[in-house]
Amino acid sequence: MNTKRLGIILFAIMLPFTILANEENLANEENNVVKITSRGMNKLFAGIYNIVDISVAGDPQSDLKIGCTNATIQQIGKGSFRVKPIKVGQECVITVFGKDVDQNVGYQSFQTLALPLPEAYLDTDYKADSLTKTSDIPKANLDILNNAGGGKINKESLLAIKGITAKLAIYMYDIFDTEPRYQVLEFNMKFLEKNGEVMVLHSASREITDQMREKLKNVESGSTFYVTDIMVQSSDHLRRKLRPIEVIVK
């Protein structure tokens, strides 16, 4: 029997086993489909716990082991994890292992971004006037329900201002496990004087100074002043400047 004929016979014998093996491999791949998704449009934000959902078809959750780079990870429910990236700009790779640690079931890379810029608000305790609405409290950034850059405030609310606060837009809270924290480090208040000069008062914290409080007592209705140079530091340790607030006194 020549070599060519022998090769054809062996191929014919092995073909069904080859097809069967390929079908088994495909079945295994289908059973081990890994889905790793974050609730922040497949991006992760540094310095805060992001919610990540992980599932592997065909594998019980108890058999899975999760590892990641540039982050800490904790399980908070069946298939749900909270992931806290460390360094902005460095990829966070989440890897899923099977019951055998050497079995790499799948992985997903995520961009690690700085936290979004928050909105700056005048922080006031004034709640006595039922006509004082949230929309009257000036804010710095545009949101769905309000205008950008500031707003009107009555004199009673003005005199109850404690300082400046910064918060992330509420619609972003569902992508995080904890509320993002922003510390206001400093800000200025700028007033246009009758002689045309600009008075600038500085606070080296989130609180208004005694000098600012005295100035606010003498601000006339209909006048405008600005809160500017609002510097914040977020839990990703980055310092950034927020947009100024324009305040119109009613």
CB 185 within 8 A of CB 207: no
Considering Cα of 127, then 176, then 45, then 71, what sign does the dihedral take? positive
Contact 36, 107 (CB under 8 A): yes
* Domain boundaries, given as residue ranges, for the chain: 32-113, 119-249
Given a cut of 80, whether residue 148 has pLDDT beyond it is no
* pLDDT at 149 > cutoff 80: no
Residue 216 has pLDDT above 60, yes or no: yes
Structure confidence at residue 18 (pLDDT): 34
Residue-level pLDDT at 150: 59
Residue 174 clears pLDDT 90, i.e. is over it = no
pLDDT digits (tens, 9 = 90+) for 67-96: 999 999 999 888 899 999 999 999 999 999
C-alpha distances in Å from residue 222, one per residue of 133, 152, 173, 217 = 18, 9, 36, 14
Contact present, 137 and 151 (Cβ < 8 Å): yes
Model pTM score: 0.67
pLDDT, one tens digit per residue, over 122-146 is 887 644 333 334 444 455 433 323 3
Identify the pLDDT of residue 151. 73
Mean pLDDT of the chain: 76
The string of pLDDT tens digits covering residues 5-31 is 544 433 343 333 333 333 333 333 444
Residues 120 and 243 sit within 8 Å (Cβ to Cβ): yes
Whether the CB-CB separation of 185 and 232 falls below 8 Å is answered with yes
Q: Residue 169: what pLDDT? A: 65
Provide the CATH topology of domain 32-113.
Immunoglobulin-like (2.60.40)
